[in-house]
Chains A and B, each alone.
Chain A
Amino acid sequence: MTIISAAGLRKDFTVRVKAGRLRRERRTVSAVDGVDLAVERGEMLGYIGPNGAGKSTTLKMLTGVLAPTAGEVRVCGLTPVAQRTRLALRIGVVFGQRSQLWWDLPLRESFGLLRHIYRVPSADHAARLRRCRALLELDAFLDTPVRQLSLGQRMRGELTAALLHGPEVLFLDEPTIGLDVVSKQAVRGFLAELGATGDVTLVLTTHDLADIERLCRRLVVVDHGRVVHDGTIEELHGRYGSRRVLVADLDAPLPAGFAVAGATVEAVEADGHRVQLSLDGGVGAGTVVAALAGAAPLRDLSVREPAIEDVVARLYRS
């Protein structure tokens, strides 16, 4: 069942640019330019793109805080802007760079307030809070005012705050930004567990591709307000021809003219003692290693998986 659908979604902004000493011209900029999207219930979707690609703008239109210039949007069967307050009861939003907690109040009181604002029955609230407390280890700072929390602690509080009313869709806008490795892992682990239940649909925008690799099977890449890829990470690799790389250290220089089917010699370094070969899709590293070993004695080798960063960087540049 489709829980989020967008067709031809567009958002134009009018900006004034200097044109001469006093004159200013109005120019229309499309932040989002015809995005089509369909997300199924329970899906975990990664939504990525370079800075200014239109990710946050799309998210704001999906959550109803920004009116689209054109196009159709439905989230949980509602029209986001027109039915914003009703939609708010059914979605949760975490902005990595914003806070929805009360700065001066202890975390516990912020959660209590949200229960009233979202009209959550107290048994449901207690059960959800108990689960978050256990999974996100909140107990140590539940009574600390939000202003005194570290970023990692606050983000765990934000995640809890977004989930206490049992949302059907959770929108996460850069939830791991600025977090240390341990906190990032805690947040990812929690989201993975949440996604595994299948009760919540996750839409995640991030610049940290490790978040995506860990959490999302489906990846939507936007650039200049347009969707440039919509599919799995593997499909992305396939489409952009990313290849595994085999690095071998040899005891003797590699004979000139060495060639093996299914692999390309990318570089020969250290007077022929180190070679880098990129492997075609479907070719086993074993065959290439055997051929190499036949040509020169092997000392050491490693195989590098294609990095999603490289693919995405190529995508952004293209």
Chain B
Amino acid sequence: MHGPTATADWISWPRVRAFGALAAAGYRRHSTYRQAAVAGATTNVVFGFIKVYVLLAVVAAGGAAVGYDRRQIVTFVWVAQGLLTVVLMWSWTELSERIRSGDVVTDLLRPLPPVVAYLAEDLGRAGQAVLTRFLPPVVVGALVFGLYVPGRWFTVPLFALSVLLATVCSFCCRYLVNATAYWLADARGPIVLWGVGSGVLAGLYFPLRFLPDPVAVALWVATPFPGLMQTPLDVLVERDGPALQCGLVALQAVWAALLLLACDRTQRRAERRLVLQGG
């Protein structure tokens, strides 16, 4: 579709500026819904308490749970509650709705590939969620239970990178799930499957280390799911040695690249066989 000039143009300065402007727009779009942010953060905190007491009961029974001590488990839960809407595992149906209504035509009429435009806006949205949705549960967790303080100097920057990669991976998964609407007209089925599957397989409900080793390893290598939630959390609580800690983030990066490629291919294929809805 794109000639060599268009590919070179991909990373030009104006493109970077357009990406930045779209990310800023994503940030502002989501800043307008303040009451929803308060309600959402409150819900995350309430569920944080429920989850933390369940997992603490497990730790109390055995002293430590699959390699996490008490403080690590508490941190795992509260940071997971904070990351939930940053990574945004559920509730993104914008693209599928636009495909269904035919509004996606206007996305295709822009001089920017839709995947790039949507990714930019999603990163802006995630930035906004860091302030309004990540901080409240983490602050509550820190005040009520006390959180794990990383011992390695590079853990916090590595965690930030890991969260960024988790957001990109999650965006790509959501994009692919939504893009099924190009073929199915209605993507609600795949979206429900994604909602149920991603929470369990990403380690949102319980740390994946509870699973038998072969299953956990298979999940990590063969699916992007652990990279959405479990990896950034394990990086932050220093569950593994430095080599594995960095290796898991590298694996996330590989998945992010593969998924972006998959999104690009899917979008192009959709455009070729596209029947745009509506007159």
Residues of A within 8 A of B (CB): 13, 51-52, 55-56, 60, 63-67, 82, 84-86, 88-89, 91, 93, 95, 97-100, 102, 104-105, 109, 112-113, 116-119, 145
Contacts and interface: CB of A to CB of B under 8 A. Distances in A.
A113 B103 contact: no
B103 A99 contact: yes
A117 B22 contact: yes
Nearest to A63: B109
B25 A65 contact: no
Contacts of B18: 116-117, 119
Contacts of A89: 111
Contacts of B33: 104
Contact of A100 (B25, B109, B274, B278): B109
Given A84-B108, A98-B103, A145-B32, A105 B278 contact: no
B106 A85 contact: no
Given A51-B279, A66-B276, A67-B272, A86 B111 contact: yes
Given A13-B275, A95-B105, A113-B21, 20 more contacts: A51-B279, A55-B279, A56-B278, A60-B105, A65-B271, A66-B274, A89-B111, A95-B106, A98-B102, A100-B106, A104-B32, A112-B21, A113-B22, A116-B17, A117-B22, A117-B110, A117-B117, A118-B111, A119-B14, A145-B32
B272 A99 contact: no
In this complex, the member of A86, A88, A117, A118 whose beta carbon has the largest number of chain B beta carbons within 10 angstroms is A117
Contacts of A67: 272, 274
B61 interface: no
Given A52-B279, A66-B276, A104-B32, A117 B111 contact: yes
Contact of B105 (A98, A112, A145): A98
Interface in B106-154: 106, 108-113, 117
15 contacts: A13-B275, A60-B105, A60-B276, A64-B109, A65-B108, A85-B2, A88-B111, A97-B279, A98-B105, A99-B103, A99-B106, A116-B14, A116-B21, A117-B22, A119-B18
Nearest to B113: A85
B29 A102 contact: yes
Interface in B1-32: 1-2, 6, 14, 17-18, 20-22, 25, 28-30, 32
Interface string B19-56: 01110010011101100000000000000000000000
B278 A97 contact: yes
